[in-house]
Structures are given as structure tokens and as C-alpha cells.
Amino acid sequence: MRRTHPLRSPGRRLIRSLTAVAATAGLLAAGLATLPQVAAEDAGNLYNTDVDIRMGQRYFERQCSRCHGFDAKGNDEVGAPDLTGSLRNASTDASIFNVIREGVSGTAMLPVAADVPDPTVWQLVAFINSLRYDPNSVTLEGDADSGLALFNGRAECNSCHMVDGRGGRLGPDLSRIGEDNTPEDLMLAMTNPHEQVAPRWWTLRVTGSDGIEREGFRMGEDSFGVRIMDVDENLWSFRKSEIESYERIEDSTMPSYEGRLSDDELDDLVAYLFSLRREVQPQ
């Protein structure tokens, strides 16, 4: 998962809408604020101002981040889910409130301490909501169709990446990349690929006991062995005891497209990548 970083070049006119979404959310909250707040079963969060969100964030960082991460993107090891996408157990403000208040029984997700006042829990709800937005309401500068044409055409992204079963194996499958990445994340992935490289995409350079060097993506690395896929897409497994040495390279093998593609082209690619979500099947 790629963390959200502030855009490097401040002038980039990538996104019109994120602020617009935030503004809508503010309006919505203002509207809701006129409703009387009865119980958690009745939706409506009174604590939804920018200040509340910041308070919620502060509390989150202290009490929740050790499992869900500072970026709230989750942690596989403890099984704490990503809270920035759609939630499994909680679809409304009230249900998020209830999950925090009551926990999820039988899991590491414990209820908050009983002496934590409701307003603090509502601020957490506001913070979690601020991490999410409706992707359909985002309007981007770029044009997704032109992005698609670039992706499979001149930019040759498909030589490394698969989308819906077509493309290369030398980069992550991007079929659903729009689901848990903001347009900013996607722009950064192209302009600054070295910033965050998932361990799966590190390179391992293995020197065999025969002196031959083999290099490839890190498909697995454990206490006693390493497994790689080389550029010819061969899979290799080595026991550490049977090799001379190996080296880990944590840079991305993806070139930066900053300067290689025009700002317009990058915007088009972002629009295309952002559109890559699994279609929800009509029931």
C-alpha cells in the first residue's frame, strides 16, 4: 500500500475535487447538525468540524495506530483492516461508532475504554470518515480514455503491468489500483516510484555457489531461503545455505515518468488508473 504524500510539485493541477468533496462533506455535516442526536442507532455526527477531525486524528494516532497504522491503512500482521476504503463491519456513522464503542467480538478489535466520552468516539468517526470519499464524485483533469491509450501504447506501461489479465508480470497487477489509492497516490507512483516500494517489488541479487548472479523480484524471503522471479519471468528458489550471498535492492525497477511524459499525459494516466475498480455487480 502506498502512503499518501504531499505532492512534490506544488503547481500540479491534478485534482480539482478533493477539496470540493471535503467542502460537500462539511455542508452535509452542517445539515445533519441541525438534527437532534438521540443514540448511536440514529445516524448523524454532531462532532464533524475540522477541529473535531483533528482531535479524532490525534486520538487515533495515540490509541489506534499501533494496530491500524498512522495512515490508517491497516496492518496484516494483527489483521487490523485498512480504514481508508470501504469498511466491512460498518457502513454508517452509527455503525462505525458502535464498532469503536463495542469492538468486534472475538477479534483484537477491543472496545474503547468505558470512560472515553461519546464526543471523542464521534470525533474518531469524523476522522475515519475524513479518510474516505466517494470516488464517483471526484472529477479529474485528465481523460481516462486517453490514459488507457497511453498505458497500452506509447508509454508501454502494459509491458510491466497487467490490467484484467493482459500485460506484463514485471510490476503489480493494476486491475483494481483505483480502489485504495487516491489520485495523488497514483500520480506519485508514476513520478516518484522509489518513494514507497512494497517488499514484493524489491530486487534480490543472488550470487550462487557457482558464482552466477541471478536477479529478480523478491517473491519470498525468509529465514532460510529466498525466492525470486527474474526478468524472463522464471521462478527461482534458493536455500540460503546453498548460495554465496545475496543483496537486497529496495529501489523500484519502474522508471520515473516525471519529465518523460507531459503533465497532461500524466493527468490522463491518473484518470485511467483511478477508474480501475472492480465493478460492483448489480444484484
Partner 1 sequence: MITMKRSSIALLTSLSALSISSTLAQEDQFSTVITPAFSPITWERLVDARNEPENWLMYSGTLDSQRYSLLDQINVDNVDQLEMKWAYQIPVIDRAETVPLVVDGIMFITEAPSNVVAVDARTGREYWRYDHEMPDDLRICCGRNNRGVAILGETLFMSTLDAHLVAIDARTGNLLWDTEVARHDAGYSKTAAPLIVKDKVVTGIAGAEFGIRGFIDAYDPETGERVWRTYTIPGPGEFGNDTWSDDSWRTGGASTWITGSYDAELNQIYWGTGNPGPDWNGDVRLGDNLYSDSVLALDGDTGAIEWHFQFTPHDVHDYDAIQVPILADLEINGEQVPAMMWANRNGFYYTLNRATGQFLFGKPFASVTWAEGLDPVTGRPIRVAGMAPTYEGIMVSPPIVGATNWYSPAYSQDTELFYVTSFDGEQEFFKRDEDYEEGERFTGGGGRYTQPMDAFHSSIRAINPKTADIEWEFPIMPRSSAGITTTAGGLVLTGSADGYFFALDAESGRELWNISLGARVHAAPMTFAIDGEQFVTVASGNVVYTFGLRD
Q: Which residues bind partner 1 (CB under 8 A)?
A: 162, 164-165, 169, 173, 175, 205, 207-212, 219-220, 222, 224-225, 227, 229-230, 233-239, 242, 244-248
Residue 172 as a binder of ligand HEC (CB under 6 A): the answer is: yes
CB-nearer residue toward ligand HEC: 161 or 238: 161
Partner whose binding site includes residue 274, from ligand HEC, partner 1, none (CB under 5 to 8 Å by kind): none
Q: Which of 45, 68, 141, 204 binds ligand HEC (CB under 6 A)?
A: 68
| Least spacing, CB of residue 241 vs ligand HEC, in Å | 29
CB-nearer residue toward partner 1: 4 or 275: 275
Contact 201, 195 (CB under 8 A): no
CB-nearer residue toward partner 1: 122 or 238: 238
Nearest to 145 by CA among 265, 267, 272, 261: 272
174/161 Cα distance (integer angstroms): 7
Q: Which of 14, 126, 206, 254 binds ligand HEC (CB under 6 A)?
A: 254
Residue 204 as a binder of ligand HEC (CB under 6 A): the answer is: no
Q: Which of 15, 157, 226, 228 binds ligand HEC (CB under 6 A)?
A: 157
Cα–Cα distances in angstroms (integers) from residue 238 to residues 130, 198, 203, in the given order:
45, 21, 14
Q: Which of 144, 163, 206, 273 binds ligand HEC (CB under 6 A)?
A: 273
Paired with 246 in beta bridges are 206
| Least spacing, CB of residue 49 vs partner 1, in Å | 35
272/144 Cα distance (integer angstroms): 4
60/124 Cα distance (integer angstroms): 7
Q: Mark residues 125-144: x for contact with ligand HEC by CB under 6 A, - for none.
A: ---x----------------
User: Scanning the structure block, which residue is given the C-alpha cell 485534482?
Assistant: 15
267/272 Cα distance (integer angstroms): 9
Paired with 206 in beta bridges are 214, 246
| Least spacing, CB of residue 237 vs partner 1, in Å | 4
CB-nearer residue toward ligand HEC: 83 or 144: 83
Residue 178 as a binder of ligand HEC (CB under 6 A): the answer is: no
Contact 175, 158 (CB under 8 A): no
- Exposed, middle or buried by CB within 10 Å (0-12, 13-18, 19+), for 29? buried
CB-nearer residue toward ligand HEC: 172 or 208: 172
Q: Which of 23, 27, 58, 79 binds ligand HEC (CB under 6 A)?
A: 79
CA atoms lying within 13 Å on the CB side of residue 14: 23
Paired with 213 in beta bridges are 207
Nearest to 141 by CA among 8, 6, 279, 262: 262
Contact 236, 114 (CB under 8 A): no
**Binding site residues, ligand HEC, CB under 6 A:** 2, 60, 63-64, 66-68, 78-81, 83, 87-90, 96, 99-100, 104, 107-109, 112, 124, 128, 151, 155-157, 159-161, 170-172, 174, 177, 186, 189-190, 193, 197, 201, 252-254, 257, 269, 273
